[in-house]
Homo-oligomer: A and B are copies of this chain.
């Protein structure tokens, strides 16, 4: 059992809710805040306190976490008028687990430092399943000291927790991760489309190819959902479009040409425009299915 800490938790969506639950399971005292209070209700029912604003949620806490949607939300939650860093007594450690802009992570780290707060960017990978089973991979940017302080808490949320470098490096690593996922998912969707056109049995195909050099997490976990016609998230297309836009911005800034990423960003934007924003990332398959690629 860890020494109970006073923790503020902001964001109780498909990822944040089970993650905050793991901290409560370990005996920590949570104050939670969410844009939509009803989504935090399962935590309030278990004894978490409600914070009216990010500032109130962060006030006088040991650590404040955020797991929200967009970079704009991250900015508002930490740097906004009622943001965590405007708390009367700010927390000593701030951990943003949202996938967000590397530059914003560096800005938050600087503003936090000026208020005597250590900050980590700690985006995750592993999806809703990883969040529920506490098997996430957590990509951390920030000082070694802050990382070591955060580690016992992060170990309640994930299995693979690695410091990637200074402020922003967690977000950079997450960008690399999303670049991997995007192209892999294109391969999964196209292989299944091909199999269908060729008259192959998709389940028999998956049995063969999942075991060889074509194997991937996406193939093992999402291809069977595609075959069953299940397209719920998982990880929202809307959020993935955001991640890919961040990735493209980063590439433009450094003059890097990544044609696979550019294709993926285009296809996922088409999927979003086609009304698939609330599906899981494997919902890209439906864009092919409609003959829209």
Contacts and interface: CB of A to CB of B under 8 A. Distances in A.
A209 B260 contact: no
B173 A200 contact: yes
Interface SS, A side: helix
A179 interface: yes
Contact of A179 (B162, B187, B201, B221): B187
Nearest to A251: B194
Nearest to A172: B198
B137 A193 contact: no
Contact of A217 (B159, B183, B212): B212
B175 A183 contact: no
A190 B200 contact: no
Nearest to A175: B194
Contacts of A13: none
A191 B178 CA distance: 8
Interface string A153-189: 0000001101111000100110111111111101111
B172 A259 contact: no
Given A176-B194, A182-B187, A199 B267 contact: no
A214 B256 contact: no
A258 B190 contact: yes
A126 B180 CA distance: 20
A192 B176 CA distance: 7
Nearest to A192: B176
Given A137-B209, A205-B164, A214-B217, A180 B188 contact: yes
Interface of A: 102, 124-127, 130, 136-139, 159-160, 162-165, 169, 172-173, 175-184, 186-195, 197-201, 204-205, 207-209, 211-219, 221, 235, 247, 250-251, 254, 256-261, 263, 267, 288, 291, 293
Given A179-B187, A184-B216, A213-B221, 18 more contacts: A125-B212, A125-B213, A139-B209, A159-B211, A164-B208, A172-B194, A175-B198, A176-B198, A177-B191, A177-B208, A180-B191, A180-B209, A182-B187, A183-B187, A193-B258, A215-B217, A257-B293, A260-B260
